[in-house]
Amino acid sequence: MAVVTRWVAAARVCAVAVSVLLFACEVPSEEPSESTLATAMPGELQTRTFDAGPVRRAGDYLEEPRFAGADLARGELLGLACAACHKLGAGEGTLVGPNLHGMFGRPAASVAGFEYSPALTASGLVWTPVSLEAWLADPAGFVAGTTMAFAGYRSAADRRDLIAYLLTATQ
């Protein structure tokens, strides 16, 4: 029974990271990607538009000035929270959450065979550093109704370091 309880707890922690990192788009685009995010409010459904920024290859994002001071070793350490529920390598399958390999440029909730929350499925999100930054700050606040049980990272520097690491580790 204790093992089941641990798996349930791990599933809740990992559910947030699951939806974050999905299929990578191989065709770069200079057009910003906009998503209409559903925001659950008591008794109503509201939506808001989110600009995820340009969809490009992961390596191209790393050349941006905002990642110049990123600490990849710290990002790897922070990424252990992701690794509790997600695999990062190609062909490694899924754990409690979907595999994050190739996530940048990929639509959220698009890993075949993985069951996502209706909220994330309907979000229209595309994973870019901009959308991942917003997600990692407050997953449940960013996509209301997500099943990923991860509280997020409060520190902007932690999010930057983690995103820089994921840009390299998920290529």
Secondary structure of 7-75 in HEC code, one letter for each residue: HHHHHHHHHHHHHHCCCCCCCCCCCEEEEEEEEEECCEEEEEEEEEEECCCHHHHHCCHHHCCCCHHHH
Q: Which residue has the tokens 């499925």?
A: 121
pLDDT digits (tens, 9 = 90+) for 3-41: 433 443 444 434 333 333 322 222 333 343 455 554 444
Q: What pTM, to 2 d.p., does this model score?
A: 0.74
Q: Are 130 and 53 in contact (CB under 8 A)?
A: yes
Tokens of 68: 């110049």
pLDDT digits (tens, 9 = 90+) for 66-121: 999 999 999 999 999 999 999 999 999 899 999 999 999 999 999 998 999 999 99
Q: What domains does the chain contain, in order, with CATH numbers?
A: 2-169 (1.10.760.10)
Q: Which of 86, 78, 111 is nearest to 16 (CA)?
A: 86
Q: Are 130 and 25 in contact (CB under 8 A)?
A: no
